Amino acid sequence: MKRRIIKQGHNTLTITLPSNWAKKFNVKAGEEINLSEENNGLFISTEKRDGARKTEIDISGLDVPLIWKFFMAAYREGYDEITVKFNPNEVYGHAYKYFDSHTLDQKYKKIQHGRTPLETIQEITNRFIGFEIIEHHKNYCIIKDLSEITSKEFDSSLRRVFLLILQMGEEMLEAIKENNPRVVAHTHDIDINVDKFHDYCIRVLNKTLNKETRKSNLYFATLFTLELIGDEFKNIARHLMEDMKGRKLNNLLQLGEMAVEQLNKYYDLFYNFTKEKTNAISKQDIEIYFYYPKLYKKKPNKKSDLSDEELEIFNHFRRITRHVNTLTELRIEMEF
């Protein structure tokens, strides 16, 4: 759309805001809006003022993993109030029961199962920042966002995602260096916090930014990829806890160090972008690429000296480095 520039006074130029946009965000005369300069353009934004968004979820007949998916979708999309309907006679396992097969998540095995719908909903609600159950009845409850969301909270939450993932990487190296898998026994708890702040970032983006803008789409992709890295560290921790007990871990150290170092370089790049830093990440990726043939090289009629479990862990480290490459591409694109 086009707008004609209006001259007011000697040095002031003004334009009018589209009426549909102003109505959608409930913008009124005298209020402040945000202006950000992007190359040869100005981006106008405001916190959404379109009233509380409400939705309804019926969890009757759904299993716990599927209930999670419905909750995450409503939360990420920015709904302020959710009415959750349920069958009061249904019984659920603990909200984290689908992790129970992992030694990594052994603390959840001690929790009694046989949860009521309301207990399950409460356990899931606790995972989402700002959400609280404000009413509960025989066959439904109402969840409401009691927090005050602003676009400024996105930056601190995104940095928290970074720091938690870096913590996972550093503790992974500590477990390998000390030959002590127990160091990563609480990795699952860290991963839950990664997911918590990841979902909160998505929620803030959806509630405060224009989803059609190019930069917000790059943030969505960055957050998705960061969550994948967290999942890879969790998978490595599971292998260390379940498959590598009492075994030497020294074969894992060199690749682990390179992968974690590359991740730290990307973190520095994200907040302090330079072309030289992108080059350093690329050079390290080449080093990792040529390191792999040494790991997998086999003599004729002889298997690799590495165990299947070690090779599986190497594959998870390699996926992390590939995700870092994807993140680097996204960060470069943010500069244009």
1 domain-assigned: no
277 domain-assigned: yes
Residues 111 and 238 in one domain: no
For residue 162, name the pLDDT band (cuts at 50, 70, 90): very high
Residues 31 and 86 in one domain: no
Chain segment 44-96, per-residue pLDDT in tens: 777 655 567 899 999 999 999 999 999 999 999 999 999 999 999 999 987 87
By 3-state DSSP, what share of the chain in percent is helix, strand and coil, each rounded to 5? 55, 10, 30
Residues 63 and 199 in one domain: no
For residue 244, name the pLDDT band (cuts at 50, 70, 90): confident
Residues 91 and 221 in one domain: no
Residues 64 and 189 in one domain: no
**Core vs surface per residue 204-233: b (16+ CB within 10 A) or e:** bbbbbbeeeeeebeebbebbebbbebbbbb
Q: Of 143 and 300, which is predicted with more confidence?
A: 143
Rounded average pLDDT over 10-14: 81
Checking 147-156 for CB contacts under 8 A at 24+ apart, the result is: 149/47, 149/203, 149/204, 149/207, 149/208, 150/47, 150/204, 150/208, 151/34, 151/45, 151/47, 151/204, 151/208, 151/209, 153/200, 153/204, 154/201, 154/204, 154/205, 154/208
Residue where one domain finishes, among candidates 118, 145, 172: 145
315 domain-assigned: yes
Nearest-angstrom CA–CA distance, 56 and 196: 21
Chain segment 203-223, per-residue pLDDT in tens: 999 887 654 567 889 999 999
The pLDDT value recorded for residue 103 is 45
Residues 124 and 189 in one domain: no
Residues 107 and 197 in one domain: no
Residues 141 and 270 in one domain: no
pLDDT(252) > 70: yes
Residues 38 and 66 in one domain: no
Mean model confidence pLDDT for the chain: 86
Of residues 263, 123, 129, the one with CA closest to residue 201: 129
Rounded average pLDDT over 282-289: 90
CATH classification of the domain holding 248 = 1.20.58.220
For residue 101, name the pLDDT band (cuts at 50, 70, 90): very low
111 domain-assigned: yes
298 domain-assigned: yes
Residue where one domain finishes, among candidates 145, 177, 206: 145
Residues 78 and 32 in one domain: no
76 domain-assigned: yes
Radius of gyration, CA atoms only, the chain: 24
The pLDDT value recorded for residue 112 is 53
For 241, the domain range is 152-334
Residues 188 and 133 in one domain: no
CATH classification of the domain holding 73 = 3.30.1370
Tally of structural domains, the chain: 3
* Whether 180 contacts 254, CB under 8 Å: no
Residues 175 and 275 in one domain: yes
Find the range with the poorest average confidence among 37-41, 43-47, 140-144, 215-219: 37-41
Q: Over pLDDT 70: what percentage of the chain?
A: 85
Nearest-angstrom CA–CA distance, 68 and 57: 11
Chain segment 102-123, per-residue pLDDT in tens: 444 445 455 556 789 999 999 9
